[in-house]
Amino acid sequence: MLVKINDPSFLSQQMRTLREALADWQDADIASYYLAAALGLINDPDPWGGRKDIFWTNNPISIGLYDQLRQLAVIGVLEFDEETKRFRWISAFSLP
């Protein structure tokens, strides 16, 4: 289930683990938001941490978050759908 930014459940989802937040396919900007929240970069009760611009523009933070998501896909933690630019947690993932 994709999260819509105007969905009231969006706020309650920001405090979930990255594994929980990415259990279903999420667009890259939303996956980046969840990664930022998991890292403690976003700690604001407003959706997007009041900083939607960070996730929708080409800047060092958004690029870094996206690169980290891609790296998690490379090492087998996340799946990445190249066509739709979406991520999801690989449910069978476990640490070696």
Is the entire prediction scored with pTM above 0.85?
A: no
Q: How is the chain split into domains, by residue range?
A: 9-89
Q: How confident is the model over 61-95, as pLDDT tens digits?
A: 999 999 999 999 999 999 999 999 999 999 998 88
37-44: long-range contacts at Cβ-Cβ below 8 A with a sequence spacing of 24 or more?
Answer: 42/14
Q: What is the pLDDT of residues 46-64, one digit of tens each?
A: 667 678 888 888 999 999 9
Helical pair 60-74 and 28-39, crossing angle rounded to 10 deg: 100
- Helical spans, DSSP H, in 1-96: 9-13, 18-21, 28-39, 52-56, 60-74
